[in-house]
Amino acid sequence: MCELMIINEKPIFICDKHHHVLKFWYSQKSENLYLLTFDHHTDLHRAYQGELNKFPYKAKNQNDWDLEQRKLLETLIENDFKDINLLHHDEHIDASILLNIFEKILVYSYDSYCNKPKRVYCITDKEYENQKVINNYNYPDSDYVIESEMLINNFKKIEVCNLGVDVWIDNFILDIDLDFFKTKKSINPENVDFFKYLISKCKAITIATEPTFVNSLKEDEDLNSEYLLESLLNLIKTV
């Protein structure tokens, strides 16, 4: 289930499953936007790898695999995303790369992407290779994930990649997977000014509620995606 609402003249696209945000992202393709995503997971698996690795399909070589992947993406667009569930929950970012939706993607996540393909650059590394995706997996204590001082310190690392904030700050979609928040305090920190600044500057916001992952990753027993969504929307309204 997906819903598009407007808060303070800003489009807010909400869905249960994270890969469903791809439809909204694609609608913004002509804007040449950047993407900043906050997520527990990196969500950087190859588009349709779950589908194409199913038995009995077996690609003879990488070219065959890539060809079938392109066919699935073409069908997805032609059918207006009716078969989007052939994508798995962690394949939408790669799909957005292949569809040339974003100029560059900044992933701010809990887990790392250790066996990263060439298209992904982890900004904790020392050398910058100008890849499409930057994955920052320097994350703080769960209670402080959007606390201003922590965010600012981590965002400074982007400058090491020759991608200063001034390049994308007025030209990006803010994407938030609610499983990024594991405690009630995490969505209600003492100082949230920088996160509110990001909200104020982005062109649009996409939110994945992902109740199953919220439930499996939470550290507060009474935390759920409904509480997180309400808290996040209230925060957006104050900007």
pTM: 0.91
- Chain-centroid distance, C-alpha 196: 17
Please write the tens of the pLDDT for every residue from 80-116.
Answer: 999 999 998 889 999 999 999 998 888 888 876 655 6
Angle, vertex CA 226, rays to CA 202 and CA 34, nearest 5: 20
| pLDDT given for residue 185 in this prediction | 96
* pLDDT digits 0-9 by tens, 65-74: 889 899 999 9
Cβ–Cβ under 8 Å, residues 169 and 203: no
139-178: pLDDT as tens digits: 668 999 999 998 888 887 766 566 666 778 889 999 999 9
Among the listed residues 20, 136, 34, the one whose alpha carbon sits nearest the alpha carbon of residue 87: 20
Ordered by start, the domain boundaries in the chain are 2-44+99-237
